[in-house]
Structures are given as C-alpha cells and as structure tokens.
Amino acid sequence: MDKFVYQYPVRQYFGKGCAEEAIKEELKNAGENILLAYGGGSLKRTGLYDRIRSWLAECGKCVTDFGGIMPNPTYRKVQEGARLVRENDIDFILAVGGGSVIDCCKIVSAQSRLDEDIWDMWYDHHRLPTDFVQMGAVVTASGTGAEQNNGAVITHEEKKLKQPLFGAYHSFAVLDSDLTRTLPMKQVISGVFDTLSHCMETYMGKPQATNLSDEINEAVMRNVVKNLRALIANPDDDFARGELMWASAMAESGMLKLGKQTDFQCHMIEHAVGAYTDCNHGQGLAVIHPTLYRRMIGYGTEKLVRMAETVWGVKGETAEETAARGIDALESFIKEVGLPTHWSQMGITDESVLRAAADTCFLMPGCCKQFSRDEIFEILKERM
Ligand code: NZQ
Ligand code: ZN
C-alpha cells in the first residue's frame, strides 16, 4: 500500500425514512437564512419540496429558493447561486437532489465567498478556495456519490469544457432510499452504472498489485451488480435500493482509493463528450468502458483478470483470454440492464464532436496505459 492520510468530514444519515429527523437535527444548529437548492421540477412534483419547507419552517428558518439546477450544472448557474447567497446573507445551503444539485452547491458555497472567479483561480493560478458557506446534502438520486467528496463537475458553456472544480465537503449527507423511489428506472440504472464505473476506475489504477482497498472494492462491485438486477426485477425492493445507495457513497467516500492512485480515464473522456453534447453521464460511461478496457489488455491485465474472476465469475485459458471474457461480461451486463453501447443510441451522430472530446479530455497519469488522443478518438469512433 502507498502512504496515505485519511480524514472523513461528512456525517452520514442512512436509512429508509431518515430524512425528516436528520434534516431537523442538522438544521437546528445552523444560522437562520437557508438557501434551498434543487433541480428542474422533480422536487415539487414529488411533494418533497413542501415537506422540506414545512420542516424548515418548524425550525424557524428563513428560506431562499435556488431552483432550476440542470443535469450537468453550468458555470452560469453557479454564479446565479453565488449571487443569491450574497444578496440574501445565506448562512447554510441545503442541496436536495442528485449529483448535479449537490455539485453545483459545492462551488456556489466557495464562489460566494470569493472576489475572484473560481474557474480562473483553479485553472489559471492553481489555487483552491479556503472559505465556504456551510452546506448539507439530501440525496434524491444516488450513484454519483457527489455528497461524499469536495469535487464538483461543472460545465463551462462558453469554453466548451466539463471539468472538475473543488469546493467544500457537505457537513452531512442524508441517504434515505425512500427519496429515490420517484426517480425513473432509466436514471436509477445510469446512476448505478456510474457507481460501478467509480469502482472500476479506482480498481484499475496504479499499482496493479491488489491491496485491501481493492479487495473491499471487489465486494462493492459484486454487490452493485447483484442489487441492480434485484431492483430492476422488483422496484419495490427497498433492501436493494438501500444497498445501492450505500455502495454509491462507499465508492466516492475515499475508502476504496486508499493506498493507490486511481485511473478515471473513462470519466475524463465521458466528461469531454458531455461538454459538447450535454449527454447523460452514466450512459456515456457505459458506451466507453468496454472499448477502453479492451485496449488496456496487455497493460492492466493483472487487474482485468482479477475483476473477471471475482466480479463476473469468468475464466479463460490464458490471462488475456480471462481479461477479455471479463470485459465481454461487463458489456453483456450493460446490454442486460438496457444501457446504451453506441453513441447513436444517445442521439450522438456527429463524429467531429468525438474528435473534439478526444482532443480536449484530460489524460490521466493513473491509467495503466497512456493513451494518445488519436487512440481515444478511435475508441470513441468504434461506438458510433
Ligand atoms: O432536475 P430534476 O427535475 O430534479 O430532475 C432530476 C434530473 O433530471 C432527476 N431527479 C433527481 N432526483 C429525482 C429525480 N426525478 C424524480 N425523482 C427524484 N427523486 O434526475 C435527473 C438527473 O439528475 P442529476 O443530478 O443530473 O443526476 P446524477 O445524480 O447522475 O448527477 C450527474 C452529475 O454528477 C456529476 C456528473 O458529471 C453530472 O454532472 N458527477 C459528479 C461526481 C462527484 N461530484 O463526485 C462524480 C461523478 O463521476 C459525476 O461526474
Ligand atoms: Zn461518475
């Protein structure tokens, strides 16, 4: 294992029906002025908005709404949130939603306390913010694990970039599986695939030797595959729903990343495609993963073999054959759960977009193979 320091600042409230008690408990000690952040409409449609407003009223809070946060949140939306925080003297940001709402708030929390532009601060001057408005996350769509870390993925529309920015950690995360019951199954599935991708991207990093984090990771991956099948078979399976929610949190809590360098090349490619197409994150990952991994045979073979055997239960005559069978099993799973395997299934038919994504994505040092931009373009083009 490589050296590490591990500290974890997010208090976790897990369990079916835990939201009301958790929110009241946390908010009673927060300041009076709350920014209630949410997405494009589901919160009001499901009735959760009214419930949360009544809980906040019981706690004596003055609430400012910050709605309309879109999937793949934009830099412009971050600036709108930061303005609201300043104008309303906000003490606490309550993010209620999926990864998009939760990410957007992390950067709002930092930008509202800065005189300079947070994008330039990081990408031009490599400085991180240090002052934040406190916040907490109530997860209504799990999979990204965004409530567990201080990274946020923000789309800068003018620059045509979808890239990470860093803000604060949420001081608490509410993981109440009841709140995810209204999420359409298609979105549930892409979220769960995102979790599986986080696990694989962490597992495939360097070094190839398997450490304790990797062995825990194998258990999480098996659990994710098993429980997604169970939830598709029975959407009322609350046990499976809860397991998937905690697996999502586990994958991004840092625990699986200890003592190693992560890969995340697939994510960086998908984010670049997302910058040009605004595509669904989990679906984009599903298209890229199998082709990318086939090009890693011969470089990350040891880990691909272990993943084939321990997660997918397949084996071949040689290490390369076992690795290939594991990737085939991954692709069969993608098809089985109804995720796309080609860009055309997601409405992406313009090859120049894939070229632009290959030319602008980050190339990751933790990946077992250093891909050239032409190779990445080939990988993307193969799935037109
Ligand atoms: O906007 P509303 O109307 O609320 O609808 C949302 C949205 O359309 C809907 N939804 C959420 N909860 C619901 C619900 N609909 C009905 N019932 C509910 N309970 O779901 C749709 C998708 O929401 P979104 O938050 O965009 O999805 P997800 O959680 O997959 O987040 C995706 C974003 O997270 C980033 C992605 O790149 C993408 O921008 N990621 C963040 C990560 C992080 N910070 O660690 C890691 C990931 O790798 C990922 O990159
Ligand atoms: Zn992801």
pLDDT at 253: 95
pTM exceeds 0.95 for this model: yes
The pLDDT of residue 159: 94
Q: Is the CB of 220 under 6 A from ligand 1?
A: no
Residue 202 burial class via C-beta count within 10 angstroms: exposed 0-12, middle 13-18, buried 19 and up: buried
- Residue 281 C-alpha to ligand 2 middle, in angstroms? 7
Helix, coil or strand: residue 331: helix
CA torsion angle 96 199 227 231 (round to 10) = 40
pLDDT (tens digit, 9 = 90+) per residue, 161-175?
A: 999 999 999 999 999
Q: For 253-290, what is each residue's pLDDT tens digit? A: 999 999 999 999 999 999 999 999 999 999 999 999 99
Report the share of the chain in percent with pLDDT over 70: 100
The 10s digit of each residue's pLDDT in 114-130 is 999 999 999 999 999 99
Q: Is 151 helix (H, G, I), strand (E, B) or coil?
A: strand
Reported as a single tens digit per residue, the pLDDT across 193-215 is 999 999 999 999 999 899 999 99
Sign of CA dihedral 135, 141, 147, 152: negative
Task: Give nearest CA residue, ligand 1 atom 49.
Answer: 144
Q: What is the pLDDT of residues 32-90, one digit of tens each?
A: 999 999 999 999 999 999 999 999 999 999 999 999 999 999 999 999 999 999 999 99
User: Percent of the chain, pLDDT > 90?
Assistant: 98
From the CA of 62, how far away is ligand 2's center (Å)? 34
Long-range contacts of 222-226 (CB under 8 A, 24+ apart): 222/310, 222/311, 223/247, 224/192, 224/195, 224/196, 224/199, 225/196, 225/311, 225/333
Q: Which atom of ligand 1 is nearest to the CA of 41?
A: 3
- Residue owning tokens 């069969």: 332
Q: Which two tokens stand for residue 203?
A: 């597992």
Mean pLDDT computed over every residue of the chain: 97
